[in-house]
Structure formats: structure tokens, C-alpha cells
Amino acid sequence: MNPILFKNPKSLLYRIEKLFWTLWDKAFVRFLVVGGLNTVLGYLTTLLLRYTIFIEQPKWILIQSLIEFDAANTVMFVILFPVSYSLQAWFAFRTRWTWKRLIVYPLTSIPNYLIQQACIFLFEDLIGIQPVIAYALSAIIPIPIMFFVVRFFVTTPKPTSLT
């Protein structure tokens, strides 16, 4: 049970606090909060990389210009894997942190990474939106899909009963 600071059940602050703790007990709400924090960290890291390290060469082109990856976004994913996994394990899904799951966790980001790369290509390269806005849109769009993917890789499977 979560501690209630406001003791008068008729007060507005009591009801707000009770609503907060009721929502916080839901894994999806915690995932949205942690996902939001991860999104902000990723967005800021991507911008920092784009405008410091990858100014001259913002794209990595593979297979003779058929496939192109945003360099700053790719490096950000690698740098923030441990941070993202830790926040998801401890706060969103309230599960034990393990090295094994940390190593497997990058698999959860494959759909996220591909969606973000497609969004960056669509918004920045095809439509011509500024990178600052393209990165923001590409970070927000995958969040709902990622809840189910991350939950599968972060939580411990519950044993099934044969009775």
C-alpha cells in the first residue's frame, strides 16, 4: 500500500493523491512515465550528438545509398540501452535487474529503432522538416507499441499451472 500523506478523505488533495497512487500501481502508467523520461533523454542525447559530433556527416549510408541510418539516433540507442533497461526494470515493471536481461534488452529496441529511423527519413528527408522536430516526432510515435515489446523482455514470465 502506498502512503497517503493527506488524511482527510473528503479533501481534494486526498482524492488527488489517492488517484495518483491508483494510477501509479498500473504498469502501463509507470511505463508511460519512464518511457517519457527515456524519450526526453534520448531526444536530448540525439540533438547533442547531431549538433556536436555528426554535424558534417549526419547519415550513415549503406548499400550504395539504398539504406540510410541517422548516425546520431543510432549512437544514442547504444549509449542509452543500460539506462533505459534499468529504469524500465526498477520503476515501470518493478522487477529484478539482471545482466542477462540487460544483454537481451536491446532486442526490444529493434522495432523502436526501425520505427524511429523510418520517421526520421519520412519527416526530415522526404517532407523536409527540421531535424529538431523530426527527432521529436520519431521519439513519440513508437511509445504505445513499445509497452508490449518491453514488458515481454523486462518482466519474468509467470509459471503456468497445469491443473
Residue 57 reports pLDDT greater than 80: no
At residue 159, the pLDDT reads 61
**Three-state DSSP state, 61:** strand
- Asked if 96 contacts 156 with a C-beta cutoff of 8 angstroms, the reply is yes
Cα–Cα dist 12/58, whole Å: 51
At residue 80, the pLDDT reads 92
Cα–Cα dist 78/118, whole Å: 18
Cα–Cα dist 55/81, whole Å: 23
For 21-25, 84-88, 154-158, which range has the lowest pLDDT when averaged over its residues? 154-158
Cα–Cα dist 69/42, whole Å: 16
Cα–Cα dist 17/101, whole Å: 34
- Answering whether pTM is above 0.85, one says no
124 is written with which cell numbers? 526530415
